[in-house]
Amino acid sequence: MAERSRIDDKTGTPTVGHEWDGIEELDTPMPRWWLWTLYASIVFAIGYVIAYPAIPMLNSATKGVLGWSSQGELDRDIAGEQKRRAPIMTALAATPLDQLAANPKLLAAAEEGGRSVFKVHCAACHGAGAAGSKGYPNLNDDDWLWGGDMAAIEQTLIHGIRHPGDVQTRISQMPAFGRDGILQPAEIDDLVSFVRVRSGQDQPSAAAARGGALYTNNCAACHGEEGRGNRTLGAPNLTDSIWLFGGDRGSLTTTLINGRGGIMPAWEKQLDPVTIKMLAAYVHSLGGGEASPAPTRVAAAPQRVAAKQ
Amino acid sequence: MIFPKAVDGAFRRFKWVVMIVTLAIYYITPWLRWDRGPYAPDQAVLIDLANRRFYMFAIEIWPHEFYYVAGLLVMAAIGLFFVTSAVGRAWCGYACPQTVWTDLFQHVERWIDGDRNAQIRLQRAPWSLGKIARRVAKHSVWIAIGVLTGGAWIFYFADAPTLAPALFSGEAPMVAYSTVALLTATTYVLGGLMREQVCQFMCPWPRIQAAMMDEQSLTVTYKEWRGEPRSHGLKRAQADAADGPDPLRIGDCIDCNACVAVCPTGIDIRGGPQIGCITCGLCIDACDDAMLRVGREPKLIGYSTQADDDAARAGKPSVAPLRRMLRPRTLIYLGSWSAIGAVMLFALETRSHLDISVTQTRNPQWVQLSDGSIRNTYTVKIRNMETRPRRVEIAIDGEPALLWDERGSRETAGRAVQLAIDPDQVTKTQLFVAAPGDGPQHSDLRFTVRALDGDHASASDDSRFERPEETQ
Ligand code: SF4
Ligand code: SF4
């Protein structure tokens, strides 16, 4: 192994001096452009480290002289988005709920905003499509315990149902007729028969007739003589085909024995009034919303004249 | 670097005409107006990206009708095949933007630097004040042409009379400026710096073209049988001939090299057909000039087909140009081109300006109402392609169901809803359909939209009505 560098005849380039089995390595210098790229990268890296957060320290990384942070960028993005939405938010804040329908554009914006808020806060209980499930009302249908116009929906959203700590929350209580010993099991059975007949699920029977008397004494105060419910008390209509906790014999018996009472949070503390307004508009738009003052749609006045901006 | 010599002649003049006409079309088109009423722009040709509309005179294309554009592209391709099989690379030589702009750039170059010899001299000369001045002038004019090229382009995408002043006052959108900058750069680089290299190395068309041409396609041909041996080397030829028995035949080519000097791609057509030849015909002009000067018959270089050239070599008459062009190959191209065009015209004429598309809400699929009936929800989009507001009615067929929209309610439900729809817009609305709860799990439901104002336009879309598996 010759360890001396020499000039290679063919290329005129010095060799590195090693030789293995007659094979030598040329000491070709690195291409200049490559070196300059490397140097430029080093300079850039130094500048970058100074300008941006880069070096990890004990608690946080160095701040960088530009003061940039991903959090700051996010804040800026959010601020920008809020600024973009500001006009519609202000308009929403200024528009009373019952006037919303008169302004289709604003209503559409509210419904759209409500849709996304719903996904975040409400879908966990009511489902992404607001179809509910046993114990959680379906918001698409036309059956409302507490009223289905926009104002009633908003009220429910603000104060919740049986929400502890909110004095204005909607409260109703179905007694636990069985557990508290108000009615005997046989009487409960008769009442169930009666309710099943009232709701058109069973044919009249002797048991139902016996249940009728019990109903008048125990239930009519809340659910009404006819069983059509009472919205001021949040008492469900027992004659329709929608059952929050089920309308079969077993479910009805459980209801009568234990009573029922779901809880819906009061959103007042967590959501601002405009957001609640948007939610009310969205829930109202699902198809079961009841008319407040009739919405009149303003004649379409499209102003899209392309390319003249 | 190629320094083509200036030349005059029939083809050069024809190229002038083509250049003026194509450039005029390019620059003037965005300024043509077309009255479309108050709800649509009045620019005759407009690619309105923001609102996704394409306007071309009386035609308005919506994004869902993009197949018209695809059809036009197919027609353009077949048209190019047709032209190529009939008259060779006529597109390359005369109408291709690369050719037109290169030609323009070369005229600027000649105007500033002088003709071929002066240009070569200047290129070799050391840097001096004069050379710098000429170079600065040339590149400035080139860039100016680039700016005008890019500047005209953006008018196709916005209202030209509005955009033009905005462009100068700095109020145009950023994308306008960046587009101008980009097209300035590409025009300058492709037309000024790369020129023939685009045709020879970048453009795929010459390669494809070879497959489109046959021995009946017109192309620029050097009549080798007539030109060779070149008389420039006459003395040597004569000396050679003195040794042999054959009488000397002198070709018509005087080897003046004019055909090579004028060629914008720098090739020698006497070497036979080659990929660099864009068939611009300038060598024909140059050689005709040479032939005229030495008193010989013109068209030593000329447009000819392979078959005709072979025939002429053998002393046979050539075929009439029209018969040559109309052969099965070109007729098939022409036929398919016309067929596509006819189908598109028919579709364009008969297309509906009112359209409906229905999407069923799947979450939830159905809703039980308190009276036991079932409600389904549908999102309905109505496309009004007329530039006027319309009144329409949406009705359902199929289920014994009631229908209402987001403004109505169950109490006002009926078999149809009426609504006002915006001009030149897609209007979206939510429809609710309620039907008795006892019925099949799925049934067909057809939504039909009908215009209530005048032309009875209508369109339908099919959907389904869903019920729970077992009604509770
Ligand atoms: S060979 Fe003749 S026709 Fe072909 S590009 Fe050159 S000048 Fe034009
Ligand atoms: S211009 Fe004509 S005569 Fe002159 S060299 Fe070319 S082919 Fe020959």
* Residue among B389, B406, B410 whose CB faces A300 most closely: B389
Reported as type and span, the H/E element at residue B183 is helix B174-187
The structure tokens listed for A1 are: 């192994």
Of residues A299 and B35, more confidence is placed in B35
Is the shortest distance between the CB of B278 and ligand 1 below 6 Å?
Answer: yes
Contact A308 B38 (CB under 8 A): no
Say if residues A199 and A277 touch (Cβ distance below 8 Å): no
Express each pLDDT in B387-412 by its tens digit.
888 999 999 988 788 898 887 778 88
Express each pLDDT in B156-209 by its tens digit.
999 999 899 998 898 888 999 999 999 999 999 999 999 888 988 898 888 888
Band of the pLDDT at B246, cuts 50, 70, 90?
Answer: low
Is pLDDT at A305 greater than 70 in this prediction?
A: no
Q: Which atom of ligand 2 is nearest to the CA of B252?
A: 3
Express each pLDDT in B142-151 by its tens digit.
999 999 999 9
* Residue among A285, A299, A307 whose CB faces B46 most closely: A307
Residue in the block written with tokens 């300058």: B188
Distance of CA A64 to the CA centre of its chain: 38
Is the shortest distance between the CB of B279 and ligand 1 below 6 Å?
Answer: yes
Distance from CA of B123 to the nearest CA of A (A): 28
From CA B292, how far away is CA B278, in angstroms rounded? 24
* Closest among B86, B122, B335, B346 to B212, alpha carbons compared: B86
Decide: pTM greater than 0.90: no
- The protein residue with its alpha carbon nearest to ligand 1, atom 2, reads B283
Mean pLDDT of chain B: 88
Distance B74 CA to ligand 2 centre (A): 40
From CA B244, how far away is CA B242, in angstroms rounded? 6
From first CA to last CA, the distance across chain B in angstroms is 87
Contact B43 A307 (CB under 8 A): yes
Task: Average the pLDDT over A150-158 and give the result.
Answer: 93
Is pLDDT at A295 greater than 80 in this prediction?
A: no
Contact B437 A143 (CB under 8 A): no
The structure tokens listed for B28 are: 């003037």
Mean pLDDT of chain A: 88
Mutate to test the interface with B, among A138, A142, A202 (most CBs of B within 10 A): A142
Distance from CA of A50 to the nearest CA of B (A): 32
Q: Which atom of ligand 2 is nearest to the CA of B283?
A: 1
Q: Which residues of chain B make contact with A143, given a CB cutoff of 8 A?
A: 369-370
Residue to mutate (ligand 1; options B269, B270, B299, B300; most atoms within 8 A of CB): B269
Query: Residue-wise over B205-215: b if at least 16 C-beta within 10 A, else e?
Result: bbeebeebbee
Express each pLDDT in B406-460 by its tens digit.
877 788 888 889 988 988 888 889 999 999 888 888 899 999 999 998 778 889 9
The structure tokens listed for B268 are: 């020698």
Indicate the fold that domain A100-309 takes in CATH: Cytochrome Bc1 Complex; Chain D, domain 2 (1.10.760)
* % of chain A at pLDDT higher than 70: 93
- The protein residue with its alpha carbon nearest to ligand 2, atom 2, reads B287
Q: Which residues of chain B make contact with A127, given a CB cutoff of 8 A?
A: 363-364
Task: Average the pLDDT over A179-199 and give the result.
Answer: 94
* Residue among A127, A242, A305 whose CB faces B41 most closely: A305
pLDDT value of residue B462: 93
Q: Where are the domains of chain A?
A: 100-309
Contact A129 B38 (CB under 8 A): no
Looking at B143-248, which runs of residues are DSSP E strands? 218-222
Q: Which atom of ligand 2 is nearest to the CA of B230?
A: 8
Task: Average the pLDDT over A142-146 and give the result.
Answer: 91
From first CA to last CA, the distance across chain A in angstroms is 79
* % of chain B at pLDDT higher than 90: 44
Say if residues B304 and B224 touch (Cβ distance below 8 Å): no
Task: Average the pLDDT over B123-136 and give the result.
Answer: 92
Band of the pLDDT at A300, cuts 50, 70, 90?
Answer: very low
Mutate to test the interface with B, among A141, A241, A297 (most CBs of B within 10 A): A241
Is pLDDT at B266 greater than 60 in this prediction?
A: yes
Is pLDDT at A301 greater than 60 in this prediction?
A: no
From CA A209, how far away is CA A215, in angstroms rounded? 10
Chain A nearest-CA residue for B472: A241
From CA A299, how far away is CA A188, in angstroms rounded? 57
Task: Average the pLDDT over A230-240 and give the result.
Answer: 91
Band of the pLDDT at B71, cuts 50, 70, 90?
Answer: very high
Q: Are strands B301-305 and B416-421 parallel, antiparallel or unpaired?
A: unpaired
Task: Average the pLDDT over B51-72 and give the result.
Answer: 89
> Half-sphere exposure of residue B238, counting CA atoms within 13 Å on the CB side?
5
* Phi-psi sector, A135: left (phi>0), alpha (psi -120 to 50), beta: left
Q: Where are the domains of chain B?
A: 10-67+85-206, 219-319, 354-471
* Closest among B458, B380, B379, B390 to B420, alpha carbons compared: B390
Q: Which residues of chain A make contact with B41, given a CB cutoff of 8 A?
A: 305-308
Amino acid at A239: T
Distance from CA of B423 to the nearest CA of A (A): 7
pLDDT value of residue B241: 59
Is pLDDT at B154 greater than 90 in this prediction?
A: yes
Q: Is A69 on the interface with B (CB under 8 A)?
A: no
Task: Average the pLDDT over B69-94 and give the result.
Answer: 91
Band of the pLDDT at A308, cuts 50, 70, 90?
Answer: very low
pLDDT value of residue B324: 81
pLDDT value of residue A62: 85
Dmax over Cα atoms in chain B, in whole Å?
Answer: 119
Dump the DSSP string for B368-427.
Answer: E-TTS-EEEEEEEEEEE-SSS-EEEEEEEESSS-EEEETTS-GGG-BSEEEEEE-TTEEE
Q: Give the ligand whose atoms come closest to the C-alpha of residue B302.
A: 1
In this structure, the dihedral spanned by the alpha carbons of residues B267, B273, B276 and B277, taken in order and rounded to 10 degrees, is: 80
Task: Average the pLDDT over B47-52 and give the result.
Answer: 89
Contact A141 B40 (CB under 8 A): no
Is pLDDT at B78 greater than 90 in this prediction?
A: yes
CATH number of B354-471: 2.60.40.10
pLDDT value of residue A296: 43
The structure tokens listed for A16 are: 């590195």
Least confident range of A236-250, B8-22, B195-209: B195-209
Distance from CA of A255 to the nearest CA of B (A): 18
Distance from CA of B370 to the nearest CA of A (A): 5
Is pLDDT at A307 greater than 50 in this prediction?
A: no
Q: Which residues of chain B make contact with A129, given a CB cutoff of 8 A?
A: 361-364
Contact B367 A127 (CB under 8 A): no
* Closest among B457, B431, B436 to B446, alpha carbons compared: B431
Is the shortest distance between the CB of B7 and ligand 2 below 6 Å?
Answer: no
Is pLDDT at A265 greater than 60 in this prediction?
A: yes
Distance B96 CA to ligand 2 centre (A): 26
Is pLDDT at A298 greater than 60 in this prediction?
A: no
Distance A279 CA to ligand 2 centre (A): 85
- The protein residue with its alpha carbon nearest to ligand 2, atom 4, reads B256
* Closest among B402, B375, B371 to B465, alpha carbons compared: B375
Is pLDDT at B135 greater than 80 in this prediction?
A: yes
Express each pLDDT in B348-382 by its tens digit.
888 888 999 999 998 889 999 988 899 999 999 99
Residue in the block written with tokens 């025939």: B311
Q: Which residues of chain B make contact with A305, given a CB cutoff of 8 A?
A: 38-41
Task: Supply the ipTM of this predicted assembly.
Answer: 0.74
Is the shortest distance between the CB of B257 and ligand 2 below 6 Å?
Answer: yes
Say if residues A26 and A8 touch (Cβ distance below 8 Å): yes
pLDDT value of residue B234: 56
Task: Average the pLDDT over A28-50 and give the result.
Answer: 95
Distance B287 CA to ligand 2 centre (A): 5
Is pLDDT at B90 greater than 50 in this prediction?
A: yes
DSSP letter at B56? E
In the three-class reduction of DSSP (H, G, I as helix; E, B as strand; rest coil), residue A23 is classed as strand
From CA A179, how far away is CA A223, in angstroms rounded? 20
Distance from CA of A289 to the nearest CA of B (A): 8
Residue in the block written with tokens 């419904």: A111
DSSP letter at B442? E
Q: Is B436 on the interface with A (CB under 8 A)?
A: no
Q: Is B331 on the interface with A (CB under 8 A)?
A: no
Burial of B325 (0-12, 13-18, 19+ CB in 10 A): buried
Of residues B210 and B91, more confidence is placed in B91
Of residues B341 and A63, more confidence is placed in B341
